[in-house]
Chain A
Amino acid sequence: MSERGLTAAIGRCAREIARLAGDVSLAGWVCAAVAILNAICWSAITPPFQVADEPSHFAYVKQLAEAHARPSSHTFEFSPEENQILIDLHEEPSAILPPSGAISTMAEQHKLKQDLSSTAELPRDGSNAAGVATSQPPLYYLLEAIPYEVGSHGSLLTRLELMRLFSALFAGVTALFVFLFVREALPARRFAWVAGGLSVAFAPLLASVSGAVNPDSLLFAVSAMLFWAFARAFRRGLSYRRAAAIGVITAAGLLTKLNFAGFFPGVILGLGVLAIRAPRPLSRSYPYRAFALGAGIAASPVVLVAIVNLTTHRPTFGLISSVATTISDRGSIFSALSYIWQAFLPRLPGMRSYDAGVFTTRQIWFDGLVGRYGWGETSFPEWVYAFAGILGVAAVVACARTLVLLRTTVRARLAELAVYSVLGLGLLILIGGASYASAETETFTEARYLLPLLALLAAGLGLAIRSAGRRWEPVLGTVAVLAMFADDIFSQLLVIARFYG
């Protein structure tokens, strides 16, 4: 492409973004601002490197920014600079051993400052080891390299703080697109958009993850964008532009975190359904060309990775191929399905028990969404989860009631709902499958893995609020936002007590 062509393309792209931004109401921007402020608070509350895997993610960015290469070692032998600061911050003892909190004395602070100065003099040659982050795609880390470079003259903690602040912006993007998704999906009820957007903006788990260096923050944002793009296409029809948008968002998601691959079957199905339903004003092949455009762009990272891996004699789809092989090695497909079922729902008669004594739906996923922080050890008293459980069940019943009341609309939008269901199921199967493939004691399932489905959860909340009828809908919506705000405030106190109490 010539320079003039490139400039024109960038100009068109900028105009398109400006047009879309102009289409967002003030309420959407307020939801985004609240989410960013919340995530910034969490970034300051959580001690450095005390969010799951943050040392690994930091090491990945360091390697990209300093060595201009991806890390290749899965070990935890990070750079001398990072290792020294992790020791000074008691990262290991706080994370793995009985809680000891963050540093607490001036002597420890003095030692930390000394080491921050001395390690800043060390050669900046990256960190080839990035632990659990090594196998992840690079998009988030490339973006995080920007604040890393901006703070490159500062200490390691300065760089980390800038990276966390940058990450907090993705919480805003997530809340904004959740608002936009609910607006497209439930156009008749304006208050549902606001309640959904604000509830997500105050969601403590979203803020705690987005307030740290973690690719999940971008994953949540891209996932919310994907749901919005589908809702928009289902409401307004498939065009080249909308198909390309779905493709670009999917490609960005696949380049952000492997978990996004769970959405891929749903994306292809969604584009297919949109193509079949599309009116054919210009030509019969127009929708199919739009489908090919979207699917082609979406699949481009997968094809690229497959080609690179095949030429370097590695598993075709990298870690996902390895997981699939491990699943087939561990037993029959039925045992894998049974495990995946039990990872999310109570065991059915005839199924082998994988989590005896643990009600995964509640104890892992629901309680985790209400709030478990750090390495899972920072949690509320049991009665809080029980109380939240009552509210959760009430919300599910209310949502179901609205769906029954709106059955005519539901029937008319069945294909759209099926696509959202396949998107969600794909993610759940990927999470459960990855857990099944791991060695039994190494599985580590966390509620944050469900946050790519925030858009659906917010829409569910919108439907639940609607069950109250026009008269009481504002009250119920306000109660939902207040409940989320309360969860956020008390979660912050919980983490403060854990690390600084």
Chain B
Amino acid sequence: MGAARTKVAATLAIGLVVIVATLVAVLLGTPNEVIATNSVTVAQELGFFHEHTRVCQGGERLPASTTALRVSLGAIAHPGPAVAVTISHVGVLAATGHRNGGWVSSSLTLPLEPRIATPTEATVCLRRGAGGMPVEIAGNTAPSGTAATVNGRPLPGRMRIEYLTHGDRSWLSLVKRVSRRMGLVRTPSGGWIVIPLVLLMAIAAGLGAWLLMREQRYE
């Protein structure tokens, strides 16, 4: 009986240490941040991205140190297919990226390799994997000369593209900003909201741990 309690206590202690260590590692990590966009607002559906098609959009200005793109492709209703991206500048491949199938989102983030070293005016082309449901292409109207194309045929407008890079500030250094934002939509508002939330979860964790220990009395 005592041995079982000791085992549960040890498991709890090790588990909580692992969770806290992972938490610290996550908080010390740096989130991606948007460094530029192509200024297209998403206002309407432009069309669908079917299998065996290629969607391209020219005239994109990629800032230096871009490490990923976020494109207004939507697979909300069904998991999206695998999508590959190429960034080419006057016919020369500058970077490529890939995302496996199964994503569900109103926008698709594609990591790039290698990172864009200098500002580049480029054409972004997306090619999707076979099968699966069509993916929605969203964006805003644009003249056919500058519009995105599907297999060379112009769509009614351009997609929104955001350019991301690894941020230089850790989540830990952003805690104050994040808690202030969390408090904005509350009534009454304020970053104080974080404190009771942490306390509530601590109480929940404490109750859970107490119960697991207590139950060993009956085993």
B54-62, B89-97, B98-106, B114-122: which lies at the A interface?
A: B98-106
Most buried by A among B16, B106, B136: B106
Does A482 touch B at the CB level, under 8 Å? yes
Among residues of A, the one whose C-beta sits closest to the C-beta of B3 is A471
Find out whether the CB atom of A155 lies under 8 angstroms from the CB atom of B187.
yes
- With beta carbons under 8 angstroms apart, the residue of B101, B107, B134, B211 that contacts A27 is B211
Interface residues of B in 173-188 (CB under 8 A from A): 174, 178, 181-182, 184-187
| Contact present for B106 and A377 (CB under 8 Å) | yes
Interface residues in B, total, Cβ within 8 A:
70
* Chain A residues in 8 Å Cβ range of B211: 27, 30-31, 194, 198
A363 engages B79 (CB within 8 Å): yes
- The smallest C-beta distance from B59 to any residue of chain A, in angstroms, reads 19
| Residue A501 CB within 8 A of the other chain | yes
Task: Give the one of A202, A441, A496 with max B CB within 10 A.
Answer: A441
What 1/0 mask marks residues of chain B from 67 to 107 whose CB sits below 8 Å from any chain A CB? 00010101011110110000000000000000011111111
Interface pair B189/A109, CB less than 8 Å apart: yes
Contact with B along A50-63 (1 / 0, CB 8 A): 00000000000000
B130, A89: Cβ atoms under 8 Å? no
Given A45-B197, A482-B12, A490-B26, the answer on whether A444 and B76 have CB atoms closer than 8 Å is yes
Separation in Å of the B104 CB from the closest CB of chain A? 3
When distances are taken between beta carbons in the complex, the residues of chain A under 8 Å from B107 are: 97-99, 377
Chain A residues, Cβ within 8 Å of B185? 47-48, 89, 102-103, 109, 112, 157
Q: How far is the CB of A201 from chain B (nearest CB, A)?
A: 7
* Complex contact A201–B174 (CB within 8 A): no
Partner of A356, one of B42, B131, B134, B210: B131
Q: Are A443 and B77 interface neighbours, CB within 8 A?
A: yes
The 9 lowest CB-CB distance pairs between A and B, nearest first, are: A356-B131, A376-B104, A377-B105, A98-B107, A482-B15, A363-B102, A500-B181, A37-B204, A97-B42
29 A-B pairs (CB sep. < 8 Å): A27-B211, A30-B207, A30-B208, A33-B204, A34-B207, A40-B200, A41-B197, A44-B196, A47-B185, A98-B70, A98-B162, A103-B184, A103-B185, A106-B184, A109-B189, A116-B187, A198-B211, A353-B131, A356-B130, A356-B131, A357-B101, A358-B102, A367-B102, A375-B106, A376-B76, A444-B76, A478-B12, A481-B208, A489-B19
